[in-house]
Amino acid sequence: MPRPSANDIATAALPRISHGRGVYLWDTDGKQYIDGSGGPAVFSVGHGDVRVNKAVAEQMGKVAYGYRYLFTADPLEEMSERICKATGLADMVYTTSGSEAVESAVKIALQYHFDKGDPARVKFIARKRSWHGNTMMATALSGFEDRQRAFAGALPVVGRVSAANAYRLPAGVSREGLVAHLAAELEAEIQRLGSETVAAFIFEPVVGAAGGALPAPEGYAKATAEVCRRHGVLVICDEVMCGSGRTGVWRASEEDGITADIITVAKSLSGGYLPLGAAVYTQEIADVMAAGHGGPLTGHTYTGHTACLAAGVAVQRIIEEEGLLARIRDKGPRWQADLRARLAHLPQVGDVRGRGFFIGVEVVADPETKIPFDASLGVNGRIRAEALKRGLICYPSGGHVDGAAGDTLILAPPFNASDAELDEIADKLVETLETVIAGVAGQ
Ligand SMILES: Cc1ncc(COP(=O)(O)O)c(C=O)c1O
């Protein structure tokens, strides 16, 4: 049987999946894994939940989906109501991935300006060390050299500003001065591009794969949003990885005190049961697009797929009924503090950060200088392999310092992981990092 192709994520010899229950997965050899990262921060209510499976089966038993131009449907209406209530936004375009949600957000921003009589606003600004997805525009927006290099010549040009990284400050900038520095940099980039030509600024409130669950410093979102407003530039928050409740609030940017013009969600929204994402936007944008073209000029055949929405509704009901966001708000900070304490004997653990059940660990060769391990050591790959050996699934990533070096890992367990399961994840992570660091320290 053909294997998935080898890349920075998959290795040549992957175990073969058998089944999953709750926070655990098993391969066909009977080996058990604890899912410490919800795969790629997807499995919000764990695996094999009979309530979700039943809701999907019931929907499939009636009809797989009602094409959106022909029918509305109960799951579509319930999910839309839930998203509007949770975000304070007005309407959305559904997708079947995060990349398509980002692509839709870009088209919505462009259409908004066009329909408003401002068609010159066609440029986008995004950050270094960010990941927005695998479609062409989403890849262009991303600041992730490894994943862009092969396509660079064909990608639309995007304005670029620094990552908001309080652990790795720009040269000559203090922690206290960081937010003002980054806001000024954004303003300068808007002006360089021509402020009347910029459509939107996109950022992840907590950076995922490209930054290792890295939240922006306090005040960053407000300061940059204020710059955007002054220049008529829309704010897009990419919450594909950090949103839909993962940080303990449904909309991650809520904690930053801003409401974006457009937010993108996917992953935890339907918890990995079936593919579902959305680009969600304000009443103002909805009204302008309705007046201009009758609605958004984007969507796919499977937009608003009924069975996918049935899965999403079942997941969202579980999150609400079991009070899982309150649990994350309560347990997340304590778990993060516990992880920090348990890793304190390893000086190469340079930073433990994140929000809620979205936690990043950064390992460095030298904690004083924060110099990363040499990329040739493949530390993040070693972490993945050592963790898997111990039956721990985590989400390591590399290259965030200079495109090649820099090693982080993300923990993003299901929202309903028990205290004992979170302890097990922490135990296995400590053993993994002890082994990997002992193998590379001093190299
Ligand atoms: C912040 C962010 N945006 C967009 C995407 C793309 O989502 P998908 O892989 O579902 O297309 C990802 C995927 O990891 C992501 O983390």
Write the DSSP assignment of 308-359 as a string of letters.
Answer: HHHHHHHHHHHHHHTTHHHHHHHHHHHHHHHHHHHTTT-TTEEEEEEETTEE
Neighbours of 401 (CB within 10 A): 20
Q: Which atom of ligand 1 is nearest to the CA of 267?
A: 10
pTM of the model: 0.96
Q: Which residues contact 291 (CB under 8 A, 6 or more apart)?
A: 115
**Is 69 in a helix, a strand, or coil?**
coil
The response to whether residue 103 sits with its C-beta less than 6 Å from ligand 1 reads no
Q: Which atom of ligand 1 is nearest to the CA of 241?
A: 16
Where are the domains positioned within the chain? 17-49+323-440, 52-321
**Total residues belonging to the chain:** 443
Per-residue pLDDT of the chain (443 residues; tens, 9 = 90+): 344 443 444 455 899 999 999 999 999 999 999 999 999 999 999 999 999 999 999 999 999 999 999 999 999 999 999 999 999 999 999 999 999 999 999 999 999 999 999 999 999 999 999 999 999 999 999 999 888 999 999 999 999 999 999 999 999 999 999 999 999 999 999 999 999 999 999 999 999 999 999 999 999 999 999 999 999 999 999 999 999 999 999 999 999 999 999 999 999 999 999 999 999 999 999 999 999 999 999 999 999 999 999 999 999 999 999 999 999 999 999 999 999 999 999 999 999 999 999 999 999 999 999 999 999 999 999 999 999 999 999 999 999 998 899 999 999 999 999 999 999 999 999 999 999 999 998 77
The response to whether residue 413 sits with its C-beta less than 6 Å from ligand 1 reads no
The response to whether residue 240 sits with its C-beta less than 6 Å from ligand 1 reads yes
b/e string for 45-59 if b means 16 or more Cβ within 10 A?
Answer: bbbebeebeebbeeb
Residue 435 host element (H or E) = helix 419-440
Architecture label for domain 52-321: 3-Layer(aba) Sandwich (3.40)
Closest CA relative to residue 33, chosen from 389, 420, 419: 389
The response to whether residue 139 sits with its C-beta less than 6 Å from ligand 1 reads no
The CA 402 to ligand 1 mean position distance, Å, reads 21
Q: Which CATH number fits domain 17-49+323-440: 3.30.1490.20, 1.20.1530.20, 3.30.750.210, 3.90.1150.10?
A: 3.90.1150.10
Phi, psi of 326 (to 5 degrees): -65, -40
The CA 177 to ligand 1 mean position distance, Å, reads 30
Neighbours of 148 (CB within 10 A): 14
Name the residue of 214, 239, 267 to mutate for ligand 1: max ligand atoms within 8 A of Cβ. Answer: 267
CA atoms within 13 A on the CB side of 274: 26
Maximum distance among all Cα pairs of the chain, rounded to whole angstroms: 64
CB 229 within 8 Å of CB 263:
no
**First-to-final CA distance of the chain:** 38
CA distance 250 to 269: 10
